[in-house]
Amino acid sequence: MTPTNRKKLVVAHSVRPEAPQHEVETNRALARWLAQILGLKFGGSFDRESHSGRDLYLLPTQTLVGAAAALQFGVKGPEDLWGGYVDHDFICTKAISHGLLNRDALAPEGWSPLFCERVRNVVLDGLSVFSLADARPAAEHLLYSGPIRLKPIHACAGRGQELIKSLDQFDTILARPDVEQLFSEGVVLEQHLEQVITHSVGQTFIGDKVLSYCGDQYLTEDGQGEQVYGGSNLLVVQGYYEDLLELELPEDVRLAIQQAQVFDSAADEAYPGFYASRRNYDIAQGLDSSGKQRSGVLEQSWRMGGASSAEVAALQSFVNDPGMRAIRVSSVETYIDQPLPADAIEVYRGPAENGDFLLKYVTVKSYDG
């Protein structure tokens, strides 16, 4: 394959200063692997002094926010990074999936009502809340239809969520000492589903390659007994969503892909400063409180995520065999110390964020469709 610029230096960058070791090392491992695939030099982790003025291809762990951040790394567009860029922080969070309670509700700078209008039919019932004053009325409105989930907009891997079944239970949350900060930072209140399957749908644009994929993800138990992200199984094609939809796929998967397409297009339309070379969407399908089947996009990931290692493995497979139509790849995260399975590719082995053990690896299987 032919990268945009063979002089580019592939550089990892852990955006959060307090990032755990597994996030930093996974970021570096994927950057090193991607440099090898692209035929570029790996420059290690970004260093302002040594990398200043260099032509970089950046792998950030988070979406870049604001022009100053992009300028710092010389990122001018999607060809300069594997990830994404937004003008305002909330745009790359769960917050954009839902509208506000009413026109008087507090909204962050840059908020686009247009986006909420465009995605209304492809998301679950829910509201985004940015102030304590709006919290109880929003919860009261949604609880009429059944249980809801409270999701801090900056939380990831399923952490920090709470299931709320009554207004009394919500009032208990409102009595907590840190509640004002919680809601001012942003919270999504969203209908709760039972028997949920979470689909992963997305696209990766790297060099002259475009990959599109669908699949599902699952949870596992971490060292503290909490249910967190455990891995993704993906079916990846060379090409666009149209090429993916040419495969024999179940109707629920087709629906997830179509909903992700609407969400993705709405982001381009409503937030014109946004761009991304990695576009991943989680779509939940399950039963609402009345037993009705529901499907909706939960959130977007325009950054390195749990499935990123599987995407890189797919890219490697297509580079090795350009004529191959599709490939099955899986990313796995387990908190149990165990030998690496046969033919698996290790991405990270070491301490988890809470100090316990974490193993991340990838497997590749042929597509038998």
C-beta of residue 297 within 8 angstroms of C-beta of residue 260: yes
User: Has residue 230 got a pLDDT over 70?
Assistant: yes
Average pLDDT over residues 127-143: 97
Mean predicted confidence (pLDDT) in 186-209: 95
Residue type, 150: L
pLDDT of residue 2: 38
Over pLDDT 70: what percentage of the chain? 97
Token representation of residue 145? 């239809």
Helices (H) and strands (E) in the chain, counts: 10, 18
**Domain edges within the chain:** 9-90, 93-122+125-192, 195-366
Start-to-end Cα distance in the chain: 26
Q: Where are the alpha helices (DSSP H) in 301-354?
A: 308-320
Of 66, 111, 98, 59, the closest CA to residue 85 belongs to 66
- Out of 1.10.238, 3.30.200, 1.20.1070, 3.30.470, which CATH number does the structure's domain 195-366 have? 3.30.470
What is the structure's pLDDT at 5? 57
Q: What is the mean pLDDT of residues 109-115?
A: 96
Q: What tens digit of pLDDT does each residue of 310-361 get? A: 999 999 999 999 999 999 999 999 999 999 999 999 999 999 987 789 999 9
Contact between 231 and 331 under an 8 Å Cβ cutoff? The reply is: yes
The 10s digit of each residue's pLDDT in 24-82 is 999 999 999 999 999 999 999 998 888 888 899 999 999 999 999 999 999 999 999 99
What the block records as the tokens of 246 is 């040419």
Mean pLDDT rounded to a whole number for the chain: 93
> 93-122+125-192 and 195-366: same fold?
no
Domain spanning 93-122+125-192: which superfamily?
Answer: ATP-grasp fold, A domain (3.30.1490.20)
pLDDT at 354 (0 to 100): 76
Look at 223 and 366; give whichever has higher pLDDT: 366
pLDDT tens for each residue of 90-105: 999 999 999 999 999 9
Q: How confident is the model at residue 1 (pLDDT cuts 50, 70, 90)?
A: very low
283 exposure class (CB count in 10 Å sphere: 0-12, 13-18, 19+): buried
pTM of the model: 0.93
pLDDT of 163 higher than 80: yes
